[in-house]
Amino acid sequence: MSESQARHKQETAEFAVQFIQSGMTVGLGTGSTAIFATRHISELFRRGELRDIVAFATSRAVWQEAVRLGIPMLTEDMPQAIDVTIDGADEVDPKLNVIKGGGGALLREKIVAQASRREIIIVDESKLSPQLGTRWPVPVEVLPYGWQSQARFLESLDAEVTLRKTADGCEFYTDQGNIILDSRFGPIADLEGLAQKLASRAGIMEHGLFLNLADDVIVAGPGGIRHLQRGS
């Protein structure tokens, strides 16, 4: 991450955190951009500028970091609704549909997004795209059992499929013990149609197409901060 990218990520995170108020239940996103929001929330909580908040993590790694920072956390059964979630994205189209899952937490992230009254996505300008799939593959989380069948299914949909691995070359496993097939479709003309095909396939636990879930997208770039809202 370059110094300018890191600065833009931090700027978007701090802008988004202003929508969190005392007494709220907050969803904490996963990834290099969302972690800036978690850290800023902890600072405001420690200074007493945010009071009586409780958070819910989208991954075990984020839960551990939030606990380390002193943020009160909900248990994993999510006993109450979430007011605002701040999360990152890998690619964002003009209608604020996004691809997520680069950090490997797409199943938990989608559960949290669907349970949130307001989903705020924070990105730098490099994540903006004219059409999803142009710059990023769609992560598809699948059961290890019979996973090559799912790979063949994705290839039948004209995807170029890669089994995700860790930096040391081992298979990557999600918090649920599943694997991820990064599926490069190229620009996707029919997002809803593809999402339905993926959702209907046994063995596919979730996909990284987050359609009609983002209420706000905060974008940072050399020209400053832009606040995009769905339907505006």
Question: Residue 51 — very low, low, confident or very high, per pLDDT cuts 50/70/90?
Answer: very high
Residue 220 contacts residue 9 (beta carbons within 8 Å): yes
Closest alpha carbon to 207 in 156, 150, 152, 158? 150
Intervals of CATH 3.30.70.260 along the chain? 138-205
User: What is the reported pLDDT for 95?
Assistant: 97
Architecture (CATH level 2) of domain 138-205? 2-Layer Sandwich (3.30)
Q: Kindly report, residue by residue over 94-120, the tens digit of the pLDDT.
A: 999 999 999 999 999 999 999 999 999
Rounded distance, CA 123 to CA 8, Å?
8
CATH number of the 3-129+211-221 domain: 3.40.50.1360
* Edge-to-edge strand list for the sheet holding 160-163: 160-163, 179-184, 138-142, 204-207
Please give the model's pTM, rounded to 2 decimal places: 0.95
- CATH 3.40.50.1360 location in the chain: 3-129+211-221
Q: What is the pLDDT of residues 166-216, one digit of tens each?
A: 999 999 999 999 999 999 999 999 999 999 999 999 999 999 999 999 999
Catalytic site residues?
109
Q: What is the dihedral of CA 75, 77, 81, 86, to 10 degrees?
A: 60
